Amino acid sequence: MPQQVRRRFQKTVKYSANNQESELLSRGMVYRELKLRLQGQLTCTAGNNTQALTLRGDEWAAVKRVDIVANNTDVIRSIKGADLWWLNFFFYGMAPETVSSIGGGGANPSFDTELVLPFWMPRSIRPIDTALDARELSDLKIVVTWGDYTDINGSATGFTTNPTLEVSSLESFGVKGPFSQFRLFHIEREVTADNPQFQIDLPVGPMYRGFMAYFTDGGSDSGSVLNNWKWISGTTVYADVKEKDLHEEYLIRHGIPRNPSRRGNANDADGIYMYDHVTDGYLSESVDSLGFSELQIELDVTKGTGTTKVVVYPLQVIPVRGGANQ
């Protein structure tokens, strides 16, 4: 039987302020992507509904985190809602939808936007090699950690209509494995002083395609924190890239516009970066850390005037060992 594709609605995750809500996902096919549709209405006066008062992440800031958990304990995706917007920008080459009502000056703005949570690895020669085979799992669920209305606009007073997150899927069947597994999680660190060798340790064992990273100063994205990016293991240097080059290379290579029309403190990917070690689309160019004693990101950073943070999303692949589909 040739491979066949199916699109279907799965679940609606209900809102619970500053709490977690979870829903089970079906396990009969091979997952390519989840589509997440966020809808709701903010309670906010017209005078307070300004771009200046809109916080980082716009409406998606109310989604503190989305986790995908397999077999009850294995977290294979963990990403902030605001950061998923940027991941879509880099992976798919265009700014995801934003709603003009948020920050648009009208009272009680509504929102209805959609983002993609990929299970396979975009911008690969064979993305299907990293799809998620749910047929082999005993359990699969989505866990949403909700924030509240103040995460969108600190002057808002509530939700006129509570948000919901609709979950739909792009799946297939009639395709054989085994599949490598694309994993996504985040590492967050505070920069407390200027440091030319600010190090972030990475788990060893998996393969790494690259990283999405961003830097904030006082809660706003900042392009003034990072000076240089290194990726090292002992004396081996996989990348040694100045900030300007890191900002430009991925955008130029993939023809992505620099002005993604984002509110919430960033409109030109300022302080937000994608480093891709794979230049030809084949995951064989990823760095395989099996047998490594250490693997680190080493940053030259300048502390901002406010609380300064760096958040890194490793693009991690758990390969099928023994020569399978890399």
Name the least confident of 74-78, 146-150, 172-176. 172-176
Give which of 91, 82, 84 is closest to 130, Cα–Cα: 91
Whether 195 and 134 share a structural domain: no
| SS3 (DSSP) at 61 | helix
Whether 57 and 127 share a structural domain: yes
What CA–CA distance (Å, rounded) separates 326 from 321? Answer: 9
Q: Is residue 147 part of a domain?
A: yes
What CA–CA distance (Å, rounded) separates 103 from 258? Answer: 21
Helix or strand holding residue 27 (H, E): none
Whole domain around residue 66: which residue ranges? 4-173
Q: Give me the number of domains the chain comprises.
A: 2
Has residue 261 got a pLDDT over 60? yes
Residue whose tokens read 């609380």: 307
Q: Is residue 302 part of a domain?
A: yes
Asked if residues 102 and 49 have their Cβ atoms less than 8 Å apart, the reply is yes
pTM of whole model > 0.85? yes
Whether 169 and 196 share a structural domain: no
Whether 102 and 8 share a structural domain: yes
Last residue of a domain, one of 173, 201, 232: 173
Asked if residues 311 and 199 have their Cβ atoms less than 8 Å apart, the reply is no
Q: What pLDDT score was predicted for residue 322?
A: 67
- Paired with 208 in beta bridges are 287, 316
Give per-residue pLDDT as tens, 26-74.
Answer: 999 999 999 999 999 999 999 999 989 999 899 999 999 999 999 999 9
Last residue of a domain, one of 126, 145, 173: 173
Has residue 325 got a pLDDT over 60? no
Residue whose tokens read 């990348």: 239
Here the CATH number for the domain that contains residue 30 is 2.70.9.30
